[in-house]
Amino acid sequence: MGEIFVLAEHRQGELRDVTFEMLGKGQELAVAMDAPLAAVLLGHNVDDFATELARHANQVVVVEDERLEHFNSAVYQQVLAQLITEREPGLVLIGQSAQGMDLAPSLATQLGLPLVTDCVGLEFEDGQLLAVREMYGGKVSARVAFKQANTYLVTARQAAFPFEEGEPLGGEVITVGSPLTEEIAYRRFIEYVEAAVGDVDITQADVVVAVGRGIKEVDNLPLVEKLAKAMGGVLAGSRPVVDAGWLPPDRQVGQSGKTVKPKLYLAVGVSGASQHVVGMKASSTIVAINKDPDAPIFKVAHYGIVDDLFKVVPALTAQLGGS
Amino acid sequence: MLRTRKFVEQYDLLGCIQCGRCTGGCPLSLSSPLNIRRIIYEFLVRDKLDIKQMPEIWDCTTCSTCTLRCPKGLDPAMILVGMRRVLTEGGRIKPTVRDALESTFKFGNPWGRGKNKRSDWAQGLNVKNLAEGGFPPKACPEQGRRVGGDRGGAQAEILYFVGCTPSYDDRVQAVARAMVKVFEKAEVDFGILGNEEICCGSEMRRLGEEGLFEFLVEDSLEIFKQHGVKRMVTTSPHCYNTFKNEYEGLDFEVQHYTQFLADLIERGKLVFSEEVNKVVTYHDPCYLGKQNQIYDEPRAILQSIPGLKFVEFDRSRERSLCCEGGGGRMWVEASSGGERLAETRVKDALALGAEVIATACPFCMLTLEDAVKTTGAEGSIEVLDIVELVAQAIST
Amino acid sequence: MDIVVCVKHVPDTTEAEIAIRDDGRGIKKEGLVFDINEADNYAIEEALLLKEEFDGAITVLTVGPPEADETLRMCLAKGADQAVRLTDERFEGSDGYATARILAEAIKDMDYDLVLTGVQADDDGSAQVGVTLAEVLGIPHAALVVSTETEEDEDRMTVHRELEGGLHEVLEIELPALLTIQTGINEPRYASIFGIRKAMKKQIEVLNLDDLELAEEAVGEAGSRTSLVKLFIPVVTAQATILEGSPEEVSGELVTIFKNEGVI
């Protein structure tokens, strides 16, 4: 089988975690498929990244171009289409991220390749690649197979594959020419903007108390706010709570919000959908209060209370000496 | 822009003499810009009204004090509902209202909860399910209603219509459970519809979703027919009012549970063995009192409970101060701030020396309990449904 | 501005119990309540807002069974002008790619300035159809859109894409283009029952495979590039230590845990 490509994802001067998660999985598959692992890095002045990536891959393929300074899926697609056509990798891993979701399906379609998205599992069994992904809000999992092709495309869910620092692979860094010629006029990157800037940075807090749809209405927020205060923590929320306008966007924890790693994460009335979990699963201690014993949050929590938050939260606040 | 002429004709507004008794009795007149007399005036003198610019029409709780007081027999509360109909049918409603309506259509309750969880409150209670083994009708968009379905098993004299709020709200579920305890003690032959029970639609109509109301009426009538319902007792005065007065084609007796229990007590079928030594006042729910003149039965029940000391609010019976829970207000924030009426009520109760505010409506219960918390009176006074007090007075 | 919106009729699974069919290739639909896919609801609202600003016609399409008419009627009630349902037994088993091909066949000869879809479907969560559709149609795209601004001459839009960490990517895109719309971009309006009944007067055009210039091999399992092997209920590996007892008791335990973790 041809080599394994992992598309390195970076933004604003940092390589994103999903890159290393995919490289970790890539190394495992490289052994199973007996194929070399190459990190693919598109960018402008990204030598530092290349050096870092070389520790985790057999080769780092760099495409250097000013036009690749900021992610633009149209530009990335042009470059990757060329690269994949030339080198015919057996498998291409891209993150199921804001970048990957914008890029992978159109790239796959342009090249006529099978694509399975948002994978949480990927195995090479009896010469066949099998992907595992979730459906119906995480309640059901699916095993998916690919139609025969020379190259398979997979997007990996963020924070689904563990990454452990191993022995550096000492890959060689090679720079290939950029195939970009004209400017792409039909889609132009303008700038990045912060969605909202508030007074509290939830990523810096030791204690985060997050509310989900379980609090039912905005009038019930003060109840949880009191608890957060009694614990010396900050109030955060899942996406539905922010969408409803009950909390400002800078309090959102999850894939499209902030990623937090506090000492204690207390999830109150949060179901634990994967997009939320991705933003908090690295917390040292996770405690969940939810009425639904089947709520996915209990899969990631260390401690769980299956009870009515409207009873537990006041009781806990009282025990902590809050009023 | 609403053309006023049709409205004037439809609601007979030319009969209005602008006496102001409506606004004069409106419980919201001090805290909201809502002025129904003025609104009627606008309808009479203008060709068009921009009702989108009148958010106060959503403050109305449909307590119907105005209707009761109007010397010309007009129904000002329904005029406001009529205005809401125009907005709701045009889709221009607040997200909270939208969510409640969509939830009712999809799940048969405005609380966003699953149909399959409606009878969870009764787990472990062994209540007869009149719909057990059957399956509910399915939505048929072409006909705009649900069709099919199959009747289930058990039979009973009385259908206990629980209601959406007692079914799903954690606090009010205790009321439903107390009801079961009391019915069992009095050896009442009753059953519930379980997960097949759907919203009575009262609030939906008052939020202006007449189409959804009609939909629910058709569905419920079908469900009642399928399961051979001959008599009904409700937890909520809202359900009672709408089934009794607004469901055309409903041909069996409907009572609010206070009527039913008062009768049981009078006939000696419900006997008290425990004392409830509390000072209790009673808050008349608008939909029980003002709108259906049921004032005596709740009092008769309370006054027959041994040890209970009953004290009357100054504003009682038809003057009862609306708790602001009806007319869709559970899903609408007041358009202006200030003291909520329920908070005033709690303060009045405390001044009376009451330890308990008794009521007989799930919305009153929730708004009054909220007010107990927001006025900092937790620990000094509690809110209980009449049936909960009754349950305390019978041995288990 | 003429807009095409692709929507999906999906089951609401939040509180529902999901059971897998005996053949393991789907879930049991009995007792499930269906509705428009959440992100698609935001997409149709975005189209309606654009129509209010720029006039034009909205065509809403879905690939689905006859029951999907419920969702199409709701879109018509809200203000869409035309609705098309693509239904055929031979579409069964279509993956994201094949589904996009079916939609593209129906859309390609329409006059449109903008195609909107939701970011992903609540049932499969693949987030593939929208972006794939753009590529098949040969138009530019942007995924995860949380705000749009249209230029005076309506030939370009400035859109915000939602990135991780509360960041937005601002880009300019030429029309006609396809945008996948993220939840929270607007506040969807309500479609009343009367509104939906009135919309019954508008015809829903139903097309099957024979009405499209598409070979049988291009749709269904044959036209898909991936195939579902089997559905299963995931085994819960990591499990929380569940604290039992009254709210007071568990609170006491929690405070001890908090102290041990050095949090308080």
Test A244 with B170 for CB contact under 8 angstroms.
Answer: no
Identity of the residue in A115, A140, A284 whose CB atom sits nearest the CB atom of C128:
A115
- Residues C62 and C45: their CA atoms lie apart, in Å, by 16
pLDDT tens digits, one per residue of C122-137: 999 999 999 999 999 9
Contacts (Cβ under 8 Å, ≥6 apart) of C233: A139, A140, A141, C20
When scoring B89, B135, B196 by the number of chain C Cβ atoms within 10 A, the one with the most, hence best to mutate, is B89
- Residues A18 and A9: their CA atoms lie apart, in Å, by 7
CA distance A145 to chain C (A): 5
pLDDT tens digits, one per residue of A224-260: 999 999 998 999 999 889 888 899 888 999 877 888 9
CA-angle at A270, arms to A269 and A276, nearest 5°: 165
Contacts (Cβ under 8 Å, ≥6 apart) of A318: C251
- Residues A244 and A229: their CA atoms lie apart, in Å, by 23
Contacts (Cβ under 8 Å, ≥6 apart) of A224: A209, A211, A215, A235, A268, A309, A313
pLDDT of B313 higher than 90: yes
Q: Reduce the DSSP state of residue A81 to 3 states and report it.
A: helix
Q: Note the pLDDT of residue C132.
A: 98
Test C193 with B105 for CB contact under 8 angstroms.
Answer: yes
Q: Does A66 touch chain B (CB under 8 A)?
A: no
Last residue of a domain, one of B61, B89, B117: B89
Q: Note the pLDDT of residue A139.
A: 85
pLDDT of A59 higher than 80: yes
- Collect all residues of chain B within an 8 Å Cβ-Cβ radius of residue A219: 370
Question: Rounded mean pLDDT of chain B?
Answer: 93
pLDDT tens digits, one per residue of B330-386: 998 877 777 889 999 999 999 999 999 999 999 999 999 989 988 989 899 999 999
Last residue of a domain, one of B47, B68, B89: B89
Q: Note the pLDDT of residue B342.
A: 94
Domain hosting B36: range is 2-89
HEC letters along B70-124: CCCCCCHHHHHHHHHHHHHHCCCCCHHHHHHHHHHHHHCCCCCCCHHHCCHHHCC
pLDDT tens digits, one per residue of C70-111: 999 999 999 999 999 999 999 999 999 999 999 999 999 999
- What is the crossing angle of helices A309-319 and C247-260, to 10°? 50
Q: Does B231 touch chain C (CB under 8 A)?
A: no
Name the closest residue on chain A to residue C236, using Cα atoms.
A299
- Residues C76 and C69: their CA atoms lie apart, in Å, by 10
Q: Reduce the DSSP state of residue B196 to 3 states and report it.
A: helix
Test B106 with C193 for CB contact under 8 angstroms.
Answer: no
pLDDT of B134 higher than 60: no
Helices and strands of chain C, counted as H and E runs? 7, 13
Residue type, B73: G
- Residue B5, burial from CB neighbour count under 10 angstroms (0-12, 13-18, 19+): exposed
Using alpha carbons, select from A35, A50, A42, A28 the residue that is nearest to residue A4: A35
Q: Note the pLDDT of residue C261.
A: 78
pLDDT tens digits, one per residue of A170-215: 899 999 989 988 889 999 999 999 876 677 889 889 999 999 988 9
Identity of the residue in A106, A137, A306 whose CB atom sits nearest the CB atom of C242:
A306
> Residues B196, B110: one domain?
yes
Name the closest residue on chain B to residue C34, using Cα atoms.
B106
Q: Does A88 touch chain B (CB under 8 A)?
A: no
pLDDT of A323 higher than 70: no
When scoring C37, C74, C190, C201 by the number of chain B Cβ atoms within 10 A, the one with the most, hence best to mutate, is C190
Identity of the residue in B96, B170, B370 whose CB atom sits nearest the CB atom of A308:
B170
DSSP-assigned states of every residue in C159-226: EEEE-GGGEEEEEEEESSEEEEEPTTSS------HHHHHHHTTSPEEEE-GGGTT--GGGSHHHH-SE
C114-118 and C177-181 strand pairing? parallel
- Collect all residues of chain A within an 8 Å Cβ-Cβ radius of residue C255: 316, 319-320
The tokens for C109 are: 């000869």
Residue type, B314: D
Using alpha carbons, select from C60, C64, C99 the residue that is nearest to residue C82: C60
> Residues B55, B102: one domain?
no
In percent, the amount of chain B with pLDDT more than 90 equals 83
C3-218 is a CATH 3.40.50.620 domain: yes
Contacts (Cβ under 8 Å, ≥6 apart) of B319: none
pLDDT tens digits, one per residue of B248-282: 999 999 999 999 999 999 999 999 999 999 999 99
CA distance A312 to chain C (A): 5
Report domain extents, chain C.
3-218
Residue type, B311: V
Q: Is C153 left (phi over 0), alpha (psi -120 to 50) or beta?
A: alpha
pLDDT of B131 higher than 90: no
- Residues B54 and B33: their CA atoms lie apart, in Å, by 9
pLDDT of A144 higher than 70: yes
DSSP-assigned states of every residue in B318-359: GG----S-TTTGGGS--SS-S--HHHHHHHHHHHHT-SEEEE
pLDDT average, residue stretch A114-122? 96
User: Following CA atoms B137, B141, B144, B147 in sequence, which dihedral angle do they give, to the nearest 10 degrees?
Assistant: -20
pLDDT tens digits, one per residue of A3-53: 999 999 999 999 999 999 999 999 999 998 899 999 999 999 999 999 999
Strands (DSSP E) found in B151-223:
158-161, 190-191
Q: Note the pLDDT of residue B334.
A: 77
Using alpha carbons, select from C186, C200, C173 the residue that is nearest to residue C74: C200
CA distance B259 to chain A (A): 33
pLDDT tens digits, one per residue of A284-310: 899 999 988 878 898 889 999 999 999
pLDDT tens digits, one per residue of B14-33: 999 999 999 999 999 888 99
Q: Which one has a higher pLDDT value, B337 or B387?
A: B387
3-class SS shares of chain A: helix, strand, coil, % to 5: 35, 30, 35
Q: Note the pLDDT of residue A145.
A: 97
> Residues B121, B241: one domain?
yes
Name the closest residue on chain A to residue B332, using Cα atoms.
A217
- Residues C63 and C228: their CA atoms lie apart, in Å, by 18
- Residue B6, burial from CB neighbour count under 10 angstroms (0-12, 13-18, 19+): exposed
> Residues B63, B148: one domain?
no
Test A308 with B95 for CB contact under 8 angstroms.
Answer: no
CATH number of the structural domain spanning residue B157: 3.40.50
Q: Name residue, tokens 């593209």.
A: C104
- Residues C209 and C193: their CA atoms lie apart, in Å, by 32
Q: Note the pLDDT of residue C239.
A: 77
> Residues B292, B346: one domain?
yes
CA-angle at A185, arms to A182 and A188, nearest 5°: 115
Using alpha carbons, select from A61, A15, A21 the residue that is nearest to residue A39: A61
- Residues B364 and B342: their CA atoms lie apart, in Å, by 8
- Collect all residues of chain C within an 8 Å Cβ-Cβ radius of residue A74: 140
Residue type, A256: S
Longest dimension (CA), chain C: 69
pLDDT tens digits, one per residue of B75-105: 999 999 999 999 999 998 998 899 999 999 9
- Collect all residues of chain A within an 8 Å Cβ-Cβ radius of residue B170: 308, 310-311
- Residues B27 and C236: their CA atoms lie apart, in Å, by 55
Q: How many other C-beta atoms are found inside a 10 Å radius of the C-beta of residue A128?
A: 11
Name the closest residue on chain C to residue B100, using Cα atoms.
C190
Test A319 with C251 for CB contact under 8 angstroms.
Answer: yes
- Residues B2 and B14: their CA atoms lie apart, in Å, by 17
Q: Which one has a higher pLDDT value, A125 or A154?
A: A154
- Residues A112 and B338: their CA atoms lie apart, in Å, by 64
- Residues C168 and C42: their CA atoms lie apart, in Å, by 18
Last residue of a domain, one of B220, B245, B262: B262
DSSP-assigned states of every residue in A102-124: HHHHHHHHHHT--EEEEEEEEEE
pLDDT average, residue stretch A58-63? 96
Q: Reduce the DSSP state of residue A7 to 3 states and report it.
A: strand
CA distance C190 to chain B (A): 4
Q: How many other C-beta atoms are found inside a 10 Å radius of the C-beta of residue B374?
A: 16
> Residues B206, B279: one domain?
no
Identity of the residue in C144, C239, C247 whose CB atom sits nearest the CB atom of A299:
C239
Strands (DSSP E) found in A103-260:
115-125, 128-135, 140-146, 152-157, 172-176, 187-194, 207-211, 234-237
CATH number of the structural domain spanning residue B42: 1.10.1060.10
CA distance C156 to chain A (A): 9
Q: How many other C-beta atoms are found inside a 10 Å radius of the C-beta of residue A114?
A: 23
CA-angle at B248, arms to B242 and B254, nearest 5°: 50
Identity of the residue in B97, B98, B211 whose CB atom sits nearest the CB atom of C197:
B211
> Residues B137, B247: one domain?
yes
User: Are C184 and C58 spatial neighbours (Cβ–Cβ below 8 Å)?
Assistant: no
Name the closest residue on chain B to residue C33, using Cα atoms.
B106
Q: Does C123 touch chain A (CB under 8 A)?
A: yes
Identity of the residue in B88, B91, B214 whose CB atom sits nearest the CB atom of C78:
B91
Using alpha carbons, select from C101, A67, A59 the residue that is nearest to residue A77: A67
> Residues B46, B112: one domain?
no
- Collect all residues of chain A within an 8 Å Cβ-Cβ radius of residue B95: 244
**B 358-377 → A contacts, CB under 8 A:** 370
Question: Rounded mean pLDDT of chain A?
Answer: 92
* DSSP conformational letter for B274: S
pLDDT tens digits, one per residue of B146-188: 676 665 568 899 999 999 999 998 889 999 999 999 999 999 9
Q: Note the pLDDT of residue A164.
A: 84
Per-residue b or e along B72-84, where b marks 16 or more CB atoms closer than 10 Å to that residue's CB: eebbbbbbbbbbb
> Residues B249, B173: one domain?
yes
> Residues B206, B232: one domain?
yes
Q: How many other C-beta atoms are found inside a 10 Å radius of the C-beta of residue C244?
A: 10
CA distance B350 to chain C (A): 28
> Residues B13, B114: one domain?
no
**B 158-187 → A contacts, CB under 8 A:** 170
- Collect all residues of chain B within an 8 Å Cβ-Cβ radius of residue C65: none
- Residue B314, burial from CB neighbour count under 10 angstroms (0-12, 13-18, 19+): exposed
The tokens for B306 are: 């041994």
Q: Reduce the DSSP state of residue A4 to 3 states and report it.
A: strand
| Chains in contact with A, counting 3 or more C-beta pairs less than 8 Å apart as contact | B, C
pLDDT of B143 higher than 70: no
CA atoms within 13 A on the CB side of A248: 10
The tokens for A160 are: 């689904």
Low-confidence stretches of chain C (pLDDT < 50) are none
CA distance A218 to chain B (A): 11
- Residue B317, burial from CB neighbour count under 10 angstroms (0-12, 13-18, 19+): middle
Per-residue b or e along C44-56, where b marks 16 or more CB atoms closer than 10 Å to that residue's CB: bbbbbbbbeeeeb
**Helix (H) / strand (E) containing A319:** helix A309-319
CATH number of the structural domain spanning residue B343: 3.40.50.10700
Test A310 with B170 for CB contact under 8 angstroms.
Answer: yes
Q: Does C224 touch chain A (CB under 8 A)?
A: yes
Test A105 with C131 for CB contact under 8 angstroms.
Answer: yes
**C 25-44 → A contacts, CB under 8 A:** 27
**ipTM of the complex model:** 0.93
How many domains is chain B built from? 3
